[in-house]
Amino acid sequence: MYTVTLAVTSASGTGSTTATNAVGNGAVLYAVDYFPGSLDTGATITLTDEYGGASFTLLVKATAGTSNTRYFPRVLKNLNTDGSAITGQYEFPPVFGKPKIAVASAGTGTAGSVVLHLMDL
């Protein structure tokens, strides 16, 4: 297991930061530590995997609050026959590209960060 830290600042209520490097040969996201720093309590954080010109959602948390928090994001599994979700079966979200954090409603001149806990594939 290894970590990737993404710090974000909000100049006018919004901001984003993308990791400099892609996640090696791929990984799965085990947990996310949210450190709000001075971000407003009503901030919405969105974590995505930027890969192949597309953006894949890893975690969205509206009104993220001002307490340090750990999240364990999971995604629904899908049937290989038609792509429909398998109810009640979840998996670690895969990460193949560059992780990105974006914030909205975060206040002006504020800053925070997330630490992604990843496991190699």
> Once rounded to an integer, what is the mean pLDDT over residues 80-92?
96
> Once rounded to an integer, what is the mean pLDDT over residues 98-111?
94
Nearest alpha carbon to residue 32 among 43, 44, 13, 46: 46
Count Cβ atoms within 10 A of the Cβ of residue 55 and give its class: 0-12 exposed, 13-18 middle, 19 or more buried: middle
Q: Which residue has the tokens 């979700």?
A: 85
2-120: in CATH 3.40.390.10: no
> Once rounded to an integer, what is the mean pLDDT over residues 68-78?
97
**HSE of 105, CA atoms in CB hemisphere, 13 A:** 11
User: How do the residues of the chain divide into helix, strand and coil, expressed in percent and rounded to 5?
Assistant: 0, 60, 40
Tell me the per-residue pLDDT of 31-62, one tens digit each, with 9 for 90 and over.
Answer: 999 999 999 999 999 999 999 999 999 999 99
Tell me the per-residue pLDDT of 14-35, one tens digit each, with 9 for 90 and over.
Answer: 888 888 888 878 999 999 999 9
Q: Where are the domains of the chain?
A: 2-120
